[in-house]
Amino acid sequence: MTTPSDQSDHGKPADGKRHIFDNPKNVWRIIYALHAICAVSILAEFFIHRHVYHSWESLFGFYGIYGFVACVILVLFAKEMRRVLMRREDYYDE
């Protein structure tokens, strides 16, 4: 899932061969496929009855929404943690 912008400074592959993700089109194909799968998994909820153990689960698309929100919170919070926790690599060697 290399983003196309990552490739800009690597026009020529180091070993002279072109690999599958050297072509940005292939990266975008995977990203589009992921969007399609996400859409299908949400739409599938119309056809598959979910047994609900807890009222929170009854929200339409609960697992998808929760997974997305959880990951965004996780990453953004972890990023903020860096302000407090991050030190130089040789921090403990001093």
Residues 1-30: x where in contact with other proteins by CB under 8 A, - otherwise, as a string: xxx--xx--x--xxx-x-x-x---------
Give the separation between CA 16 and CA 14, rounded to whole angstroms: 6
Nearest CA to 1 among 31, 40, 33, 41?
31
Residues 69-88: x where in contact with other proteins by CB under 8 A, - otherwise, as a string: -xxx-xxxxxx-xx-xxxxx
Q: Which two tokens stand for residue 68?
A: 């997305």
Residue 48 region by backbone torsions, left for phi larger than 0, else alpha for psi between -120 and 50, else beta: beta
What is the binding site for other proteins (CB under 8 A)? 1-3, 6-7, 10, 13-15, 17, 19, 21, 31, 34-35, 37-38, 41-42, 44-45, 48-51, 53-54, 56, 61-68, 70-72, 74-79, 81-82, 84-89, 91-93
